[in-house]
Structure 1
Amino acid sequence: MPDAAPESNASGPLVGLRVLELGQLIAGPFASKMLGEFGAEIIKIEPPGEGDPLRKWRLLHDGTSVWWQVQSRNKKSVTLDLREPEIQDVVRRLAGECDILIENFKPGTLESWGLGWEALHALYPRLIMLRVSGYGQTGPYRDRPGFGVVAEAMGGLRYLSGEPGRTPVRVGVSIGDSLSALHGVIGVLMALRARDRDGVGQMIDVALYESVFNMMESLLPEYSVFGAVREPAGSSLPGIAPTNAYACNDGYVLIAGNGDSIFQRLMQAIGRDDLGSDPALAHNPGRVAQVARIDAAIGDWTASRTQDDVLAVLNAARIPSGRIYSVADIATDPHYRARGMLVEQPLRDGTPCKVPGIVPKLSATPGTITRPAPTLGQDTGEVLADLGVDPKTQARWRALGYI
């Protein structure tokens, strides 16, 4: 059976921290999701009525996206109309009771509501604010709308994705948003460390395109020094050989035989000692120069064999290799199961549902799933009451549609 979701996270490393999430969709909420998995209390603000648009993205069960069950686990949902001055005052007060505020609105939006960085920092010097946007809070593009797919294009990733001579392709997931969330979490943790030292919070400015660009390895220095523009390379790893996807008679395997000693073992395993002992191929630069010859030799060997046969030989020879997994492969893989990465988190009506486990894995204070994703506005009354908003005021706001 898949691992069950733990009941509590009293020992989580972020227990005691309170996070106010004003974002929606992916980048901001993904960051708070990670913080919540390690013990932080997450108060998610959603607009009344429909809530976060992610609730309706992709495949729905009983009217709600199953994606929501991952992105919003461990969070409380509070519905507030941030356009209303009375509600802006509530959010301002709530920010004062939190350690971290996360938002991914278009730059200037929070300022128009009196909730920008300068205003909140003046009131609450210890508050840390994570701001995720398409192009950052400054610069000539700051006011442009930006989504992860655009950031992936501008950051250099999409140019490299796909087969040579073909239309550049999307990676397949919203990687620009997720990378930005990860950079945001790193920034928050560093800001917390700095606050422990000097007692003052700070603003973290994460741009989607910069988060993608930060992953682009040697792209810029290669262009700066050599004028080299890295081009799409399909399934191969340019400049490092051999690494590619090779066709078997029942699918593909990924083989990474690019270390000098690994290459020799690979050639021995496929019966091509002539290539393994060739001095011209002893080191990576020589192999790159003859990569087509090497790829052809490996491809000829895999073509007449099954994936299982190929992987059995390569694993025995200690050659890095593996199948190219679909989610169906992931969901039944014993290693995923053994590592706690297939967690059973039933939906609210009891429908079985597997969700991804938690990464990274801390030895003493691991992350946990403490509560399922909330229904819209599930925690509004509780959070407002804790803030001192009386039942009469809450009732009036409900009647007006503010909450």
Structure 2
Amino acid sequence: MNPTSPLDHLQVVECATFVAGPSCGLGLAQLGADVVRVDLPGGGSDHLRWPLAPSGASLYWANLNKGKRSVTLDYRTPRGRELLLALATRPGPGAGIFVDNLVGRHRVRHTDLTALRPDAISLHVLGFPDGRPAVDYTVNAAVGVPGMTGPSAVEPVNHVLPAWDLLTGSTAAVGLLAAVTQRDRTGEGAQIDLALSDIALSAVGALGWLSEAESAGPRPAIGNHVFGSFGTDFASADGHRVMVVALTEGQWRALCEVTSTGPVFEALEQALGVDLREESARYELRETIASILRPWFSARTLAVLEADLDRARVLWGPYRSMAEAAASARTTSELAEEVQQPGVGAMLATGSALRWSESVVAPEPAPSLGADTEHVLGERLGLTSAEIGRLVADGVVSVDATRGAA
């Protein structure tokens, strides 16, 4: 077995759109699972979602579906639904695994799967546990995070990163692998429901934010300061900004040494009767500390800061635009690599962040929409070319992408 493809024995059928479900399938595919994404002919609701390539193809879709296979069939029709269920319940020890976020009368329920395969594993992504709709941005608003983000609590500040979607996808992958392990041990399948709202609530609870709110009241928005420790941004002499953090006593000592501010902070400790080796003390005096450090940073260019801070082993990072981050990834990261993406051309893509025996798995391009329909239906369900031709003629399946390849 390829040590970088530990899941190559698994066959997963994914019928999900947007981020949570597809990111689950992406993570499994990057570990070797054969993930077949099923969309309606012409593409699902996320097929042309921004950002777009100059060709009009969705870079969003292409990057979330790297390394998968694409089947297009109309599961809203009786024959299409039959085909979807057959793919999802195909016999075999690594098959019978279904991921979806379908809603309404076309949803595939766990009982639909177990009627055909009693040990089927299903994972259904939804907004709220009771079925009400939600997306990352509405869940984030409701769980209190925007009020803690930004320079003040007067107006909430949304985040750009769909963190709850991505965390849901990662949790979904863990849940599916746990279900596969259980089935291998007991022969039993599993029905898993995973709500975005539960993910967000569980996460803020794990960080202590819920109990903090009840015991200490709402936390103020503190801008770019790190809560409970010392960390903030500084401007350089040439107009750049850097983020500097001192979580530990060693990191604080390194920051004081490189900036030659140790004597100043020792005097401050004596005057105020505090010990800045303590993380809480550094947080309480964060603005005072930042004001003392700012002149040192503002007198140096980014290049000088990089050399000095790295040499002193200070915990820091530069602020970059996304374009700058992409340029850096091209030249410094093994994780990022250019692939030839159908409908896009050359595209910078990333592989799995898991390094196996110090090896990085290169990213694979996503298929064009429906590119694998004929092969998958023939390989997995034994349909002949003539049978697939009739399904195409009836509009049940399509074998070629018809709207801007992605």
Please give the secondary structure, in 2, of the residue aligned with 1:64: coil
Which of 365, 369, 376 lines up with 1:376 in the alignment? 369
Q: CA deviation at 1:18?
A: 0.3
1:52 positional shift: 5.0
| Larger CA deviation: 32-41 vs 214-223 | 214-223
Query: Does the Cα contact within 8 Å between 2:342 and 2:368 map onto a contact in 1?
Result: no
Matched residue type, 2:210? L
Matched, 1:293 2:281: no
- Specify the alignment match of 1:158 in structure 2: 146
CA pair 380-197 structure 1, distance change in 2 beyond 3 A: same
Question: In structure 2, what is the equivalent of residue 144 of structure 1?
Answer: 132
2: CA distance, partners of 1:322 / 1:389: 55
Q: Does 1:260 align with 2:260?
A: no
Match for 2:309 among 311, 314, 330?
314
Match of 1:220 among 210, 225, 234: 210
Matches within 5 A, 1:83-102: 83-97=76-90, 98-102=95-99
Shift in CA distance, 349/397, structure 1 to aligned 2, threshold 3 Å: closer
Cα distance in 1, alignment partners of residues 386 and 246 from structure 2: 69
Query: Considering only aligned residues, what root-mean-square deviation do their CA atoms show, in Å?
Result: 2.5
TM-aligned CA deviation for residue 332 of structure 1: 3.0
- 2:216, 2:253 → 1: CA distance? 33
Q: Equivalent residues in 2 for 1:375-394 (5 A)? A: 375-386=368-379, 387-394=381-388
Match runs of 1:14-33 below 5 Å: 14-33=7-26
Greater shift in the superposed pair: 205-214 or 8-17: 8-17
- Please give the secondary structure, in 1, of the residue aligned with 2:48: helix
Provide the C-alpha distance between the structure 1 equivalents of 2:109 and 2:198, rounded to a whole number of angstroms. 22
| One-letter amino acid of the counterpart of residue 388, structure 2 | Q
User: Which amino acid is the alignment partner of residue 320 of structure 2?
Assistant: Y
Query: Among residues 228, 236, 241, which one is paired with 1:239 in the alignment?
Result: 228
C-alpha distance in structure 2 between counterparts of 1:264 and 1:391, whole Å: 71
Q: Map Cα deviations across residues 285-313 of structure 1 (whole Å, 9 max, x no partner).
A: 22222222111111232122222222322
- 2:350 corresponding residue in structure 1: 356
Cα deviation, residue 179, structure 1: 1.5
Q: Given residue 101 of structure 1, which amino acid in structure 2 is its aligned partner?
A: F
Given the superposition, is the C-alpha separation of residues 215 and 300 from structure 1 closer, same or farther in structure 2, using an over 3 Å criterion? farther
Q: Are residues 1:284 and 2:242 paired?
A: no
Moved more, 9-18 or 373-382: 9-18
Q: CA-to-partner distance for each residue in 1:354-388, whole Å, 9 max, x for gaps?
A: 11232122228864445x21122111122222313
State which of 334, 341, 344 in structure 2 corresponds to 1:347: 341
Instruction: Say whether 1:202 aligns with 2:187.
Output: no
Unaligned runs of 5+ residues in structure 2 are 398-406
Question: Shift of residue 45 of structure 1?
Answer: 0.7
What per-residue deviation string (whole Å, max 9, x for no partner) do you get for residues 239-287 of structure 1? 21x2111122221111012322322332232222234433612312222
Amino acid at match of 2:139: A
2:400 maps to which residue?
Answer: none
Gaps in structure 1 of 5+ consecutive residues: 1-7, 137-141
Are 1:135 and 2:128 an aligned pair? Answer: yes
Question: Displacement of 1:117 after TM fit?
Answer: 1.0
Partner of 2:319: 324
Distance 1:134 1:267, change over 3 A: same
- What residue is the counterpart of 1:3 in the other structure? none
What does residue 175 of structure 1 align with?
Answer: 163
- Percent identical: 26
Q: State the Cα distance separating 1:349 from its structure 2 match.
A: 6.7
Could you tell me which residue of structure 2 aligns to residue 39 of structure 1? 32
Shift in CA distance, 50/95, structure 1 to aligned 2, threshold 3 Å: closer
**TM-score for both structures, normalised by structure 2:** 0.86
Q: Following the alignment from structure 1 to structure 2, what is the Cα–Cα distance between the partners of residues 22 and 231?
A: 41
Residue 72 of structure 1, aligned match among 65, 77, 81 = 65
